[in-house]
Amino acid sequence: MQLRDIQYVVTLAEELNFSKAAKTLFISQPALSQAIKRLEDELGVTLFSRRNNTVELTRAGELFREDGHKILQLSNHLKRQMEDIQKLKQGKLCIGITSLFGRFYFPKIYQVFRKLYPGIEILVSEDTSEGLEALILRGKIEFAILPLPLLSNQLVYEPIVEEETLLAVPPGHPINQHMHTPPMGEFNCVDIGQFQDDDFIMLYPGQRIRTLCIQACRAAGFEPHIVFETRNTDTVCGLVSAGMGVGFIPETISRAQSEQCRAVFYRIREMKANRKMVAAYYHAESLSHSALEFIRIAHDIFG
């Protein structure tokens, strides 16, 4: 029995007419009749009962149709996968990432992607979230990995990874004196309202973490007093360590800081400070096979 034989049976089971089925299969009616009879002899069962010009499925034929349909679906799926791999042998993939994603997440994804598809050249644009959205809409990149929320309602997305945002305070801040040492790898919790009189080190406008944190301060009833703005979270951590103010740091960065960073990190109680990193794009049909594969790998590693 060959895959072609299964296709013949499934098609005849749908049409229940040899002439129509033969036309659909682009073969002659006698050839189809002979193929079905040959398969029935091979299997030792009757798949179709023939009465004048009508054809009906037997019980064996019904079972064959059900599993045969599944086999054909799997065959088509496998064929598409092989075609996708063929298309992934060479080409270019233009993507966008934020600096945070580029530093802590991108290398792991790139390493796996590069091993699987060495012929695909990845061109990376690094920008703020707002800048990356603009690049997608202008067709400069296929997709970008950036934090929610998206500004443009023209873009769709799928989740990649979620991380919490922590509050970094100077080592000499009075609140540290009232806290017990947390277990290794854990953080104490604080209320953001306790810091309404503190100076804040913030990222520049256009970076999602700034928007998230200003909204949190306002929800607590105060406007943060911003004394310094920067593009780099390492700078935020350094200035906080030097006692210049408090700042917001993604948990990934807080755990990766060197011994030179003396800031103390806290979880923010009753604050939805989790950042969801997503792959954003114009629409799914616009994504190439290599883009879909990159997003799949990212989700498999961090999702």
pLDDT for the residue 199: 96
- The tens-digit pLDDT sequence of the chain (303 residues) is 888 888 988 888 888 888 888 888 899 989 988 998 998 899 999 999 887 767 888 999 899 888 888 888 888 777 766 766 676 777 788 999 988 788 778 999 999 999 999 988 899 999 988 899 999 988 889 999 998 888 888 899 999 988 788 899 999 999 998 888 888 778 899 999 999 999 999 998 877 788 888 888 998 999 999 999 998 888 898 899 999 999 998 887 776 665 557 889 998 886 666 778 899 998 877 788 889 999 999 999 886
Q: What angle do CA 151, 152, 153 make, to 5 degrees?
A: 120
* Alpha-carbon separation of residue 234 from 20, 134, 231, 303 (angstroms): 70, 26, 9, 25
d(CA 226, CA 231): 14
Q: Which two tokens stand for residue 184?
A: 């290794």
Q: What pTM was estimated for this model as a whole?
A: 0.56
89: how many CB neighbours lie within 10 A of its CB? Answer: 10
Asked if omega into 174 is within 30° of 0 (cis), the reply is no
Q: Which two tokens stand for residue 271?
A: 């604050």
